[in-house]
Amino acid sequence: MEIVVLDDPRACGRAVADAVADVLARGTGRPPTLGLATGSSPLPAYAELVRRHRDEGLSFAGARAFLLDEYLGLPAGHPQSYREVIRRELTDHLDIDPAAVHAPDGTRADPAEAAADYERLLAACGPVDLQILGIGGNGHIGFNEPGSAFGSRTRVATLTERTRADNARFFDRPADVPHRVLTQGPATIMEARRIVLVATGAGKRAAVAATVSGPVTTDVPATVLRDHPRCTLVLDRAAAGERAGPVATGQVGAPGRGR
Ligand code: F6R
């Protein structure tokens, strides 16, 4: 696991944007395939990508994107549905084909079927070249809450009350936060060729410390990433905090900084 500590969330956003630009530049003969997280953590990266597209001509034409997760029970077009958030914050401002931006469908009558369909689509289009992740204060990735089996794949899951409380800031009333979601499972996420997890702010410090230094356990879902061959944590100083072990600083993907 490579660890990059930068001054602030904007610097973290630029580092994540560099990793995305790298994938877009790499012409592998198949569409560059991005995995997108929602929530606050990737927003500086998305703002930076929008800026690079607008000011520097960074092109997403021909790229594909797969969202990590989606709420269940929100009507199509609800401003907090993750498909809608990604459209508003990112893809509407890029030259990516809207039809190439995929999300688990949280509006389907049978959510288990929607999950299975999403897995099939990912299997047909994958692997994801670069998966962007955030981390919950309890160590969740995607909406894989503590206790999620590392072998599980896209499925219906139930949010903990802590995560519902954390996400209440996006909704009019705390009670409006859905209880159930569709999420890629840890096993789905681990199939990405490269993973960049961004964590900023002191509220993420404990989860980051457990991810880096604690036992690998389903109690802290992000610890599954320790077994990924190309996973980078991009942290600001507040999220890195003080913890045991050396902290590597520098550029994402710089050689010799893994551990
Ligand atoms: C969102 C997601 C979640 C968030 C996590 C952190 O698609 O998968 O795991 O990344 O809840 O959320 P923020 O970034 O809002 O602190």
Structural element, H or E, at residue 124: helix 111-125
Ligand 1 closest atom vs CA 144:
9
pLDDT at 246: 43
Confidence at 27, pLDDT banded by 50, 70, 90: confident
Ligand 1 closest atom vs CA 41:
14
Dist. CA 23 → ligand 1 center (Å): 22
Domains of the chain with bracketed CATH = 27-190+212-223 (3.40.50.1360)
pTM: 0.93
153 close to ligand 1 (CB < 6 Angstrom): no
Confidence at 257, pLDDT banded by 50, 70, 90: very low
Looking at the DSSP assignment, which residues form a beta bridge with residue 11?
Answer: none
Dist. CA 82–CA 86, nearest whole Å: 6
Report, in this order, helix, strand and coil percent for the chain, each rounded to 5: 40, 15, 45
pLDDT-above-90 percentage for the chain: 91
Over range 139-151, report the average pLDDT. Answer: 98
Over range 105-133, report the average pLDDT. Answer: 97
Closest by Cα among 92, 80, 98 to 181:
80
Dist. CA 48–CA 135, nearest whole Å: 20
Give the burial string for 25-43 (b: 16+ CB within 10 Å, else e): eeeeeeebbbbbbbbebbb
Dist. CA 38 → ligand 1 center (Å): 6
Q: 53: which 2 tokens?
A: 């597209």
Q: Decide: helix, strand or coil at residue 3.
A: strand
40 close to ligand 1 (CB < 6 Angstrom): yes
- Is there a contact between 32 and 125 (Cβ–Cβ < 8 Å)? no
41 close to ligand 1 (CB < 6 Angstrom): yes
Dist. CA 203 → ligand 1 center (Å): 12
39 close to ligand 1 (CB < 6 Angstrom): yes
Torsion of CA 119, 121, 126, 128, to 10 degrees: -70
Confidence at 29, pLDDT banded by 50, 70, 90: confident
pLDDT at 249: 52
pLDDT at 243: 43
Dist. CA 200 → ligand 1 center (Å): 11
Dist. CA 120–CA 114, nearest whole Å: 10
140 close to ligand 1 (CB < 6 Angstrom): yes
pLDDT at 258: 38
Q: 240: which 2 tokens?
A: 């890195």
